[in-house]
Structure 1
Amino acid sequence: MATVNKRPSGKWQAMVRKDGRSHSKTFTKRADAVKWARETEMLAEQGLLQQTAAGVVSNMSLGQVLERYRDEVTSNKRCVENETYAINGFMRSCKKLSGKRIDKLTTADFVAHRDHRMQRVKPATVVRELGWMQHAIDIACSDWGQRVRDGNPVKQVRRPRVHNGRERRLQAGEWQALLEAVNEARLPLMKPLLRLALETGMRRGELLSMQWMHVDMERCTVFLPLTKNGCARTVPLSPRAMNVLAELPRTEDRCLPLSGNSVRLAFDRLRTRAGVVDITFHDMRHEAVSRFVESGLSLAQVQMISGHRDLRMLMRYTHLQTDDIVAKLHAIGQQVTA
């Protein structure tokens, strides 16, 4: 049975199922997908599909596997934009490794790639890259008829240790410098994006996916049906956050119709223009959570706002409550003495 479906990426996937096995291919044009589906379905009826398919897939290179993985698997993930960008970048910059057949790949190939990348990017980036490469090869073997020697070669690669903890806070004058840089660069939506990030502690992806239908101006909340950790949550909005939303035009479903990549590039330019060193967009979230704690909110209340699943993730902010705790202990001591 043949089916043709449009993918989130805008491409068309044709799939033919026969005797419990499926064969699929992705096309830019629907007409090409329909044509391939009809021809493949005919081969299946004649009993020639397995032989033909096997002859094609046995020669897939890593680049071909990743391209198909990007179109058929990544396109259905929440991180579709970031992973698509990463896969495209890998195929452009690592042509030698991309051009190698996966049945010829060894663990040593990926160890060399890991060591090369570690000189240029952070450990977390390397771990993510190895993750989707390993998954792509697993899918190619389980679903696309590929064969590799001695198991998936990426699985045996030792992952670098990730140190994601950052304590970067905004220093005096940096916030104003960033806002002034936004005005100079004439990026109208970046200013409200930055202000909302600082007021809500929401992640970049959560801010960009925020829809007007989920904003409750009366209750001063916004509902996030899909977050990074997979748990929906309702975020309370401060008066300043409400003012930012009230000033935004409602011309599209999303409150901030920007792409993640455009925000990344724009923030890099703003940081350079403002002369603010070693700060990331995600540091706005750390700054916001720090301010929540400093305002006197309990860690449980902050957890409700920020969406951290594990309270232990917030324990690094407890030092910010030290002065408040000391003041309360002194107050208790004075009452006892009296």
Structure 2
Amino acid sequence: MATIRKLRGRWQAQVRRRGLKPRCKSFDTKQEAEKWARDLEAQVDRFGAAPDTKVLESTTLGELLERYQREVSPIKRGSVQEIQRIDVLRRHELAYRTMIGLSQQDIASFRDERLKSVAPSTAVRELAILSHVIEVAIRDWGLPLSRNVVKLVRRPVIRNERSRRLTGDEEQRLLEGCDAGQIPFLKTLVILAIETGMRRGEILGLDWTDISHNRRVVTLTMTKNGSGREVPLSQRAFDALMSWKAQAEVDASIVFPMSPGALEQTWRRLLARAGIKNLRFHDLRHEGVSRLFERGLNMIEVSSISGHKELRMLKRYTHLSADDLVSRLA
């Protein structure tokens, strides 16, 4: 059991366990002393001995973030985005906290502060990074922490479901806007997104060798959910790709030589030319998946094309047109 007492104006915590050397430390407040004692006792229970907490007193969260960014992030898919998020985290005042003092309340305060300036989905991603950094530090780097405080904090609820579909002549206006722009493959890219429901990253990552001309199939070797899949092409999508291939450079390997950031800027300019509001590029995935259902494909068939592993997620992405379904009702 730990002993907490006030000594010469400060609070002293002492932990005694049979067979172990007593450990004590002084703090400005009783709460800090009690927390230190609880954590130390938990570490003794976990490791069978009192670990050297000096490393926790000298190691900051920012140092762990920097090491993780250098050693772990580069070997992950989506490393560019994760490294950028870690840069943001390293500039936050939370990064200057030592691991001995990092508490559940610190993480909760960080969450609440971030929610004032970023979307809940961004805050969730940042908390996920913090949690994995600490988990790696405990399991692989030997940091003597008794628990991962990030896991104790409630994650924000993400409510980003959208039911935006192309309406009226919006598709025609989009394609006409593509023709009026300076990106020669933009129209093909938009058609492919609508016809297949593929993700932005999947489309931008396509090589010409991924496209089977005989089978009229696109092979994706690695996708967001960690596995590959084959995507059948409609005649419209295949013709658009072959038309662009005839114009592309002979030795080009990438189908669409454009970065995600460049596509985002191009998309905004396209919407302005087409006079369309409140349409995201990802909404074309909603449109494509919904059209697959409207063509009569069942849930399993659509999931094999779209790459959704969980059917509940597929239902969330699917918004069928009531007008198109009326004819199928008896």
User: Which one-letter code corresponds to 2:155 in the other structure?
Assistant: R
- The residue that corresponds to 2:137 in the other structure is 140
Contact 1:169/1:287 (8 A) holds in 2: yes
Query: Per-residue displacement from partner, 1:142-162 (whole Å, max 9, x unpaired)?
Result: 3234344x5222111110112
Query: Per-residue displacement from partner, 1:93-120 (whole Å, max 9, x unpaired)?
Result: x2x2223333332222221221122223
The count of aligned residue pairs is: 274
- Tell me, yes or no, if structure 1 residue 187 matches structure 2 residue 183: yes
Shift in alpha-carbon separation, 1:120–1:71, aligned structure 2, 3 A: same
Q: 1:234 aligns to what SS in structure 2?
A: strand
Higher-Rg structure is: 2
1:23-38 residue pairs with structure 2 within 5 A? none
Query: Under a length normalisation based on structure 1, what TM-score does the superposition of the two structures give?
Result: 0.70
- Tell me, yes or no, if structure 1 residue 70 matches structure 2 residue 69: yes
Shift in alpha-carbon separation, 1:170–1:329, aligned structure 2, 3 A: closer
Structure 1 unmatched runs, 5+:
1-53, 331-338
Q: 2:219 aligns to what SS in structure 1?
A: strand
Contact 1:58/1:146 (8 A) holds in 2: no
Shift in alpha-carbon separation, 1:112–1:179, aligned structure 2, 3 A: farther
1:171 pairs with 167, 174, 185, which one? Answer: 167
Q: Taking every aligned residue pair, what percent have the same amino acid on both sides?
A: 43
User: Which one-letter code corresponds to 1:125 in the other structure?
Assistant: T
Shift in alpha-carbon separation, 1:101–1:193, aligned structure 2, 3 A: farther
- The residue that corresponds to 2:194 in the other structure is 198
1:224-243 residue pairs with structure 2 within 5 A? 224-243=220-239
Shift in alpha-carbon separation, 1:55–1:328, aligned structure 2, 3 A: closer
1:125 pairs with 106, 122, 140, which one? Answer: 122
Supply the RMSD in Å over aligned alpha carbons.
3.0
Query: 1:263, 1:70 → 2: CA distance?
Result: 26
Query: 1:328, 1:271 → 2: CA distance?
Result: 34
Structure 2 unmatched runs, 5+:
1-52
Query: 2:317, 2:88 → 1: CA distance?
Result: 36
- The residue that corresponds to 2:151 in the other structure is 155
Shift in alpha-carbon separation, 1:113–1:181, aligned structure 2, 3 A: farther
Quote the offset at 1:282 in angstroms: 1.2
Query: Under a length normalisation based on structure 2, what TM-score does the superposition of the two structures give?
Result: 0.71
Shift in alpha-carbon separation, 1:191–1:106, aligned structure 2, 3 A: farther
Query: Per-residue displacement from partner, 1:263-316 (whole Å, max 9, x unpaired)?
Result: 334434544565533322211100111122223333333222212223333445
Query: 2:56, 2:317 → 1: CA distance?
Result: 52
User: Which one-letter code corresponds to 1:204 in the other structure?
Assistant: R
- Tell me, yes or no, if structure 1 residue 108 matches structure 2 residue 105: yes
- The residue that corresponds to 2:6 in the other structure is none
Contact 2:216/2:238 (8 A) holds in 1: yes
